A and B are shown apart, each in its own frame.
Chain A
Amino acid sequence: MALAFNGARPSGALAGHADTGADIDISGLTKTYGDFTALRNVDLSMRPGEFVAVLGSSGSGKSTLLMALAGFIQPDSGSIRVRGREVLGDPANRRGFGVVFQNYALFPHMTVFENVSFPLRLRKIARSEVARRTEQVLETVKLGGYGDRPIAALSGGQRQRVALARAIVYEPQVLLMDEPLSALDKSLREEMQIEIRELHEKLHITTLYVTHDQREALTMADRIAVMSKGEIMQIDTPERIYREPSSEFVARFLGEAVVFSRGDAGRAFSNLPPAPAANLDLVMIRGEDFRLEPAAREPCSQTTATVAAVVFQGDSWLARLTTAGGLPFDVRIQRADSRRVASLTGGAEVTLYVRHEDIHFLRVDP
């Protein structure tokens, strides 16, 4: 059943389901535990070789989605098709997905080699082939020569690589990763993010990556699905999901967002552009889109606010301001504006500019 990749991007044109060209097609997936709805009518479609990050806070249903996909949770309704074939009836060990678990789930009684070769050994592959492929994948994750080490002797990052190697050694069609980096410290996490992304560029395995870390999702994913309360709120490329959030929730979940009602915004800003639709009653501006001087050739809105406090945060400053109407909001002043920052002192009045294209109109979340 397992499809061979050999590093090449698999063709999407497989027999019988060229209809969507999707590798994974999840539709209407629902799972409830008593009164609690873990998944509510989730639709998600992944193209072959695509890297999709599922982003959400704890309890948002993102792990449930992954577990349902892996076959460890049986959903109440819906369908999961892999290359057009329904897999909901298949037990976990017949789905052929690679899974990287949050705590790595490495077998403590086995060496690195034994862990990584486990999926090959149970497939009754010739010993020499097992050894060859295991060594090769260990090289890929930069663990060449670590085969004899017991798991207990490895660092967190090394364990992460072993878990990854074990999940890809049998060349699964789909790789599922459940917050794989959450146990690592920040610098190691960032390094691993890039490594995993590089590995993905090389192998092109269709990957579902569950995380609660927005930066991680932005760094790694081709597309991000933001989940809340068992629902996918928005699914789009990192850039679009950041720039054009479809809801206040998504806007606030990714990055810093200043949100006013249209009425408040109208009072606070002058030269506000018109809303593209009548039902868009919120105005959202990213904190870093406020400027201390107007843009040269682009139309800007402007507002005058009182400075409450300014804090230096390394690459930028965070300023807390109050509108003339008394509404507080936080803006981020980039390094480029540093020479102007000196004027921002407590109690001072300051005029801020926002380009029209940086002003977004949103619906009020139901």
Chain B
Amino acid sequence: MAFTKKIMPALAAVACLGVSPALAEGTVTVLSPGGTVFAGGKAALWGPAGEALGIAVKEETTDEGLPAVRLQVGAGNVTADIVFLADYEGELGGREGILEPLDYSVIDRSKFLPGTTSDYCVGVYGYATVMAWNTKTYSGEQPKTWQDFFDVEKFPGRRAMRSNAETQIEAALLGDGVPAAELYDVMATDEGLERALNKIRALKPHIAVWWSSGAQHGQFMKDGEIDMTTGWNGRFEFARKEGGAVDYTFNQGILATDCLAVPKGAPNKDLAMKMIAEMSNARSQAEMSKYTNYGPVIPEAFSIGVIDSEAAKVLPTNPEYSDGLIIQNIGWWLDNNDRVKAMYEDMMTE
């Protein structure tokens, strides 16, 4: 008994350590992926925000954000207030009605890169699908555009593309000379889609591998298994740091984001909106980029002196690259995914 009486307050104190001790206006639960995103998020996003607002933050991790939300909402037992989603998951979750519409009277949408916020999900960092090549194979002139990627005369060698149509259709049309501004207009037509698929069909004899995960294409480039591939910028940067003969370009990179959303019926919905507004600032996103290879989606983040010019080079959202950057139209993909994916798989298995 005596023991319990003494120990209980101590335990309570320990339990509160993770929580802002100040005003304790309330608690929100954040559901995030693990790893570097969790470490960065705790240090740069919800940690400082919680402290500033006096909101205690409970952390949970999952690699399957949307299924977790589906489960919680479906079961009528929502515990997460803020959830990390991929942008298409945010769009999809909004359409499925399992996310709260975001309160843009609280969150300042104007500071974001256009196309990185939606009704249900606000961008937190971005990554790009880019082109990478082996610097030993192409030691002379380096490829610069998607047109070079599809040009096997000029750049002969083994190619790899994704076994999923998403971002590959964009790359194919850009490779066929479609200007970035007209990209999604062309994709909206059947002829445009057929044009993209034909472009890949023509490259197929040179495609040695269809990759299905980031780990895969990073390894291929590092090992020299593939001479040129599509893929995610972070993986290529890592392969290069590991000593692979790899280079890549952000020119015509296709930007996708991860974003923050609030599950339908979140217990602390209003606090969640406040937290998201607080986290959405240039400094937080700049700090976050130190933990990952992902780029801030608030352009101001690059000009406040947190990110040095060397570090900025590997971030896809660097304003220096903004002319060449294409922000993916996630809405289009959600509308057309099943159809395009089927066409792509037919093409792949031909």
A and B touch in the complex (CB under 8 A): no
Seen from chain B, the residues whose Cβ lies within 8 Å of a Cβ on chain A are none
Could you list which residues of chain A lie within 8 angstroms of chain B, going by C-beta atoms?
none
